[in-house]
Structure 1
Amino acid sequence: MTTLVIGANGATGKELVEQLLLKKQNIKIIIRDLNKISNSWKSNSSIEIIEASILELNKDEIKEIVSGCNAVISCLGHNLSWKGIYGQPRKLVTDAVRLISIAIKEETRGKPIKFVLMNTSGNRNRDLEEPLSFKHRLVVFLLRLLLPPHVDNETAADYLRTEIGQNNKSIEWVVVRPDNLINEDNVSQYETYPSPIRDAIFDAGKTSRVNVAHFMATLITESNVWNTWKGQMPVIYNS
């Protein structure tokens, strides 16, 4: 299997690449700055590195990249800086998901490609009746006004949920929603649920990045796990 990883140089993306390597997967990564990845990746025959900015690639270039891939995992996110939050591109994740999805749909393949999108527990799954308190809804309303990355997370997930949907012949998808992200060295016990079991704003749990990476890698390598969660937005917590 070959997996295309977008956002591989991010904190969770790096963990994901390592988890995929442990599972003996071939990997393609799109990286704008080669200085931000380890030298061990550059010399690893299981990793194909494409030096580019994802949104500067055209559809045909993306089609060539996804050709031969069985899965795509996006760990894209906005840098936590003024430019990263309020600068362009404000719809980095949504535009990348759309661009890749269009390219995949124009590819001729025998079975659907798996698309995993890392998102956030603060984004509600609108396919389900996920209860939210008034104060939670108020904070989300303010986040939409003040923090463009939150809107980007919502619209990226909604693109898969509504534009790709549940019965697309080219793409099957899972949106992974970790709670408050933390750094840990090793994979530990974690739990996954269809919807949040805690309030993501007022009673957030913790999810280690390495556990998120392990879950995403497991999704694309173990068919029973994929079949459990495809077309859904599982929430993941450390046990």
Structure 2
Amino acid sequence: MKVLVVGASGATGSQLVAQLLHHNYTVKIIVRSLDKIPQTWQDNDHLQIITASILELSNSEIENIVRDCDAIASCLGHNLTFKGIYGQPRELVTDAVKRLCNAIKSNKLERTTKFVLMNTTGNLNRDLDERISFAQKCVIGLLRLLLPPHVDNEKAADYLRTQIGQNNRAVEWVAVRPDGLINEDQVSDYEIFPSPTRSAIFNAGKVSRINVANFMTNLITNENLWKEWKGQMPVIYSSSLVN
């Protein structure tokens, strides 16, 4: 199995790459710079590093990159700086998802490619009747006005839901929604739900980045787990951190 990871130099993306390599899967990553890439990765025969900005690659270049990949995982996000939040590209995640999915479809492969998107519990799954309080609706409304990355996350998931849909022959997808992200050194027990079990704004749970990466790895490599969650937006909490 070969997996493409975008956002591989980020806090969660790097955990995902590490776990895939640990299980001896072949991995491709697209990164702007090698600055955050461990030397052990650069020396790993199972890893192909493509140094580029994904939005600056041509359509044909992206098609070539994804052609031999069985799965694609996006852990892309905006840097938590003023430029990262309010500068360009405003729709980094959405545009990357669109370009990658379009490349998969353009290749017209006989097999289906898996697409796993890291999203957020602050984004509702509009395929389900996920009800939130009026106060939370107000806060999310403000987030849409004040924080472009939140809108980007919503649009990226909505693209998979509405444009790729449930019966696409080229792409199958899962959008993983972690709650409050924290750092831990080891994978621990975690729980998966179809929808949030608590308010993402007023009573957020927590989940370690390494647990999110573990769930994404298992989605990609475990066919039964994939069948259980494909076309959905599962929410993940670390078991020891949900109370």
Structure 1 residue 108 displacement after superposition: 2.4
Root-mean-square deviation (CA, aligned residues, Å) is 0.5
CA distance in 2, matches of 1:140, 1:85: 16
CA distance in 2, matches of 1:81, 1:226: 35
1:198-237 residue pairs with structure 2 within 5 A? 198-237=198-237
CA distance in 1, matches of 2:172, 2:118: 15
The aligned residue for residue 161 of structure 1 is 161
CA distance in 2, matches of 1:128, 1:35: 41
The aligned residue for residue 86 of structure 1 is 86
1:53-132 residue pairs with structure 2 within 5 A? 53-132=53-132
The aligned residue for residue 138 of structure 1 is 138
Between stretches 211-220 and 106-115, larger displacement belongs to 106-115
The aligned residue for residue 175 of structure 2 is 175
CA distance in 1, matches of 2:21, 2:187: 14
* Superposition TM-score, scaled by structure 1 size: 0.99
User: 1:68-125: CA deviations, max 9, x gaps?
Assistant: 1000000000000000000000000000000111000011222210000000011000
Identical residues among aligned pairs (%): 63
Dislocated runs of 4+, deviation >3 Å: none
Gaps of 5+ in 2: none
Aligned length: 239
CA distance in 1, matches of 2:73, 2:200: 23
The aligned residue for residue 14 of structure 1 is 14
CA distance in 2, matches of 1:202, 1:35: 37
CA distance in 1, matches of 2:125, 2:24: 32
CA distance in 2, matches of 1:35, 1:129: 43
Gaps of 5+ in 1: none
Structure 1 residue 162 displacement after superposition: 0.3
* SS at structure 2 position matched to 1:36: coil
The aligned residue for residue 193 of structure 1 is 193
